[in-house]
Amino acid sequence: MPLTERGRAMIERLPEAAFPTAGTGGCLILRHEERCVGCGRCAAACPSGASSRGETFDPRQLFDAPADSRRGALGAALRAIAGHAPAGVIDVPARVTVFRTIVYDNRRCLGCGACVRACPAEAIEALAPEAAVPPAAGAAPAAVTDSTSGEAIP
Amino acid sequence: MTATTELTAAYVMRQPGSGAAAQAATAAPTAPVAGDSLRRSVVAFCCRECAYAAADASANARTPLPPTVRLVLVPCSGRVGPLHLLSALAEGADGVMVAGCLEGQCHYREGNFNAIDRVTFVQRLLASVGVEPQRVRMFTMSAGEPPRFVAAVREMDRTIGALPPLARGTTRTDLTVAPSSTAAATEGRP
């Protein structure tokens, strides 16, 4: 369910302990950045603020994009004139909105899969919780103790 | 000087006011290639409301433009995206300039601000892959300033003439080879 601006601002102020189910029960979210088109719908749909549009862009996303996509066309043009492989991430000017790498914070992720349903490019994959045991095993105990110590937030 | 007279001659054969694009297009093949810098080409995306009008006025005044420049009419500089700039470079241009309205005077309110940020973005993109960022540049001017347009084109022409020709294709194989060479390295490791 998309959040309002006010709701998003409130979530931004919450500590990580306010997400007790993060990393415990939900799906494991797997992002395929090379397929991402930068539309930001995952960030708009995310109920916990785990996905957001970042301030930087990784040019390698253009090089790895599918050839028939817009980013792929851009990558092909860049590849034709490139002297070497991209050196690293670049800062993005304020008015460029599409060419931003999505920042995904798995400590806030509830694993609800809202981003998977919102993604038009099939760039996000949700793995079933049982398949996600190895990554969740490390994250789950920390999240649970945090939530029990911070009793104030149910 | 020969280039100048031929430029004017080529233009006079056309009807007055037929546009600066026609002047540049007809002049370029007839212009004698004196130095290496004359073989460079610059694509100029010109806003219809200001820069293209300035180009038209400068052509009516018979101000010679550098023969390297090709004008492309766009309804607003905000129409120009990263793909326009990069595919122009990839398909033969050595430099690309975007000419839009003065800040705050865009006829579509903020198209030129979008263009300024996109040009900055493409400059950073070029710098990250080892291409000179000054190959892409944004200029702003009003419709009543033909000298400013001519000065912008000449400055761009000077910048690009000082740079080596943009290498294409040859480096492309390096890029495609790179992943397989790393794959070979990982294969050889165990």
The SS3 of residue B111 is helix
Tell me: the pLDDT tens digits for B13-56?
A: 333 344 444 444 444 443 444 456 567 899 999 999 999 999 99
Nearest to A140 by CA among A110, A95, A100, A96: A110
Question: Closest approach of chain B CAs to the CA of A121, in angstroms?
Answer: 20
Q: Hey, are the CB atoms on B121 and A88 less than 8 Å from each other?
A: no
Tell me: the pLDDT tens digits for B88-114?
A: 999 999 999 999 999 999 999 999 999
Q: Which chain B residues are Cβ-neighbours of A73 within 8 angstroms?
A: 83, 87
Confirm or reject CATH 3.30.70 for domain A5-12+22-129, answering yes or no.
Answer: yes
Q: Hey, are the CB atoms on A81 and B117 less than 8 Å from each other?
A: no
Q: Hey, are the CB atoms on A70 and B83 less than 8 Å from each other?
A: yes
Domain definitions of chain A by residue range: 5-12+22-129
Q: Hey, are the CB atoms on B124 and A84 less than 8 Å from each other?
A: no
Contacts across the A-B interface (CB distance below 8 Å): 87
Nearest to B45 by CA among B107, B93, B11: B93
Across B158-171, average pLDDT = 83
Q: Hey, are the CB atoms on A95 and B130 less than 8 Å from each other?
A: no
Paired with A30 in beta bridges are A125
Tell me: the pLDDT tens digits for A2-57?
A: 677 888 788 778 777 777 666 667 888 999 999 999 999 999 999 888 999 999 99
Asked if the ipTM is above 0.85, the reply is: no
Q: How far apart are CA B85 and CA B119, in angstroms?
A: 8
Domains identified in chain B and CATH numbers: 2-188 (3.40.50)
